[in-house]
Amino acid sequence: MKKGILLNSEIITEISKMGHTDKLVIADAGLPIPKDVKRIDISLIKGIPSFIETLDAVLKELKVESVIVAEEIKEKNPDIHNELLKKFSNIEIKYVSHEQFKKITESAKAVVRTGECSPYANVILESGVIF
């Protein structure tokens, strides 16, 4: 049995296939997912699993070089924004409009849909390298 913290086989598979600058999205329950992007739906009920719980698990497995979030998160979801600032204090955070964010998700390897039901709780993780 796998020893690491992350147990979801679909997420593990997508992370293992990622190369430098590939994108993985962690999304709230409402983010539209482009039809040609792999959907990994781990939502159970409202709030479970949360965006932060899911992000923490993924960060145990994925080397992240930079992140992209919607500019609107600053005003509409300051609690999640502050958590992101803490988690990525040494990583570049790029801010784009929510419309641009949705457009960028079209180039993601996968979108992990959580049970999070708070506004703009979405992040695009850009893969780094481990060497």
Domain boundaries, the chain: 9-127
* Cβ neighbours, 10 Å, residue 101: 23
Tell me which fold the domain 9-127 belongs to: RbsD-like fold (3.40.1650)
Active site annotation includes 81:
no
Mean pLDDT of the chain: 96
28 is in an annotated binding site: yes
Per-residue pLDDT, 17:
96
Token duo for residue 98 = 């929510």
As a whole number, mean pLDDT of residues 8-29 equals 97
pTM attached to this predicted model: 0.96
Query: CA distances (Å), 128 to each of 39, 55, 75, in order?
Result: 22, 16, 29
The band of 5, judged by pLDDT with boundaries at 50, 70 and 90, is: confident
120 is in an annotated binding site: yes
Residues 6+ apart with CB under 8 A from 29: 43, 46, 113, 114, 115, 116, 117
For residue range 68-105, list pLDDT tens digits in order: 999 999 999 999 999 999 999 999 999 999 999 999 99
What's the CA gap between 53 and 49, in Å, rounded?
A: 6
For residue range 84-94, list pLDDT tens digits in order: 999 999 999 99
* Cβ neighbours, 10 Å, residue 123: 26
95 is in an annotated binding site: no
| Catalytic residue from among 5, 9, 20, 92 | 20
82 is in an annotated binding site: no
The band of 1, judged by pLDDT with boundaries at 50, 70 and 90, is: low
